[in-house]
């Protein structure tokens, strides 16, 4: 179910721009979809060529340097008043037991099961391509499940769901790119090691609202704290500035045109996603919750109770 949900999100990402290209050019839908896929592959290839080797090298160096980082961190704590308990805990802990660094051990375990991960990736990609190649076929199939008098409404609901998912994806891509670049450049300026890897983690963590910035901040501040409290303070200031910029520039736009979830519902969705699907469930919790909210607004609040509702994308139903 988790892989199917991810495939649907990816299919909407591919099908929407392909439909726009096909409707404004002589290209058929399949050719427009192929053009989109080739463009994505080209961008990813350039990104891997420019930074892939550095990320892998920094990850390997970080894993190798973990014992030394923990030793320097303990030494720093020993020089601070009132830190005897925490210092003893770090001295007795394994690297994977420390918050934030546990992510590294999880990634290492994932590398050991690379074949299983590859199979799942192939499954998601092919399912997404099948869905994106013939969206009308699958949409019409869902519409036919509704009674004849409700099929027009069914099309409206599916269209609004596509707008919601597309808006969330575009907003998250912008947010991830902004945060990733700012974190990488800022960490480089401060002089924190593994800046590219930590910046990549910060960008990916933006997929998880509220909790993502915390997950990204913890490993960065641990690495910086090993060089001293002042370095950790600069990292804290950097991440605070980044989150203020992201929260006041990108997120309001995302909430206005894509996903307008109350924070309490967002937290509940993330907790349920993690409980049902594990860590990956946290990444898809927001778009799934936003889609459910659209269904509640359109089918229950509007159609059943007769209330006016505001929908993602600036639409409203009086």
DSSP line for 234-255: HHHHHHHHHHHHHHHHTHHHHH
Average pLDDT, stretch 254-280? Answer: 78
260 or 206, greater pLDDT: 206
Within 10 Å of residue 95's Cβ, how many Cβ atoms? 14
Regarding predicted confidence, which is higher, 150 or 75? 150
**101 confidence band (pLDDT: 50, 70, 90):** very low
Position with higher pLDDT, 211 vs 106: 211
Residues 6+ apart with CB under 8 A from 41: none
Residue that is written with structure tokens 């804290």 in the block: 236
Alpha-carbon separation of residue 177 from 18, 41, 72, 221, 244 (angstroms): 22, 17, 32, 21, 15
SS3 317: strand
Least confident of 57-61, 88-92, 148-152, 253-257: 88-92
Predicted confidence at residue 221, as pLDDT, reads: 85
Determine the structural domain holding residue 218 and report its residue range: 2-317
Give the pLDDT of residue 134.
Answer: 87
Q: Is 171 helix (H, G, I), strand (E, B) or coil?
A: helix
Domains contained in the chain, number: 1
The whole-number average pLDDT for the span 74-78 is 64
**pLDDT reading at 74 higher than 70:** no
**Mean pLDDT over each residue of the chain, to the nearest integer:** 79
Listed residue (140, 281, 110) closest to 211, CA to CA: 281
**What pLDDT band is residue 192 in, cutting at 50, 70 and 90?**
confident
Q: How far apart are CA 243 and CA 211, in angstroms?
A: 12
Residue 203 banded pLDDT, cuts 50, 70, 90: confident
């Amino acid at each position: 179910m988790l892989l199917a949900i991810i495939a649907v999100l990816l299919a909407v990402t591919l099908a929407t721009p392909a439909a726009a290209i096909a409707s404004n050019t002589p290209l058929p839908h399949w050719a427009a979809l192929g053009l989109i896929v080739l463009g994505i592959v080209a961008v990813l290839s350039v990104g891997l060529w420019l930074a892939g080797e550095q990320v892998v090298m920094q990850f390997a160096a970080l894993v190798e340097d973990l014992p030394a980082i923990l030793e320097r961190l303990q030494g720093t704590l020993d020089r601070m008043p009132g830190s005897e308990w925490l210092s003893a805990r770090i001295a007795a802990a394994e690297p994977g037991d420390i918050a934030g660094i546990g992510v590294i051990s999880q990634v290492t375990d994932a590398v050991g099961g690379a074949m299983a991960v590859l199979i799942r990736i192939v499954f998601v990609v092919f399912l997404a391509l099948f869905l994106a190649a013939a969206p009308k076929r699958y949409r019409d199939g869902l519409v036919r499940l509704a009674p004849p008098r409700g099929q027009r409404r069914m099309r409206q609901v599916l269209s609004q769901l596509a707008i919601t998912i597309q808006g969330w994806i575009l907003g998250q891509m912008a947010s991830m790119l902004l945060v990733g670049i700012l974190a990488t450049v800022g960490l480089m300026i401060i002089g924190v090691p593994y800046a590219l890897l930590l910046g990549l983690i910060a960008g990916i963590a933006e997929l998880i609202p509220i909790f993502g910035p915390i997950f990204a901040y913890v490993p960065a501040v641990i690495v910086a704290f090993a060089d001293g409290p002042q370095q950790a303070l600069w990292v804290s200031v950097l991440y605070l500035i980044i989150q203020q910029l992201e929260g006041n520039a990108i997120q309001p736009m995302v909430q206005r045109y894509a996903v307008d979830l109350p924070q309490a519902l967002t937290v509940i969705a993330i907790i349920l996603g993690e409980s049902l699907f594990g860590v990956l469930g946290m990444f898809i919790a927001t778009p799934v919750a936003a889609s459910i909210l659209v269904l509640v607004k359109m089918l229950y609040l509007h159609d059943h109770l007769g209330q006016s509702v505001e929908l993602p994308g600036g639409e409203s139903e009086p």
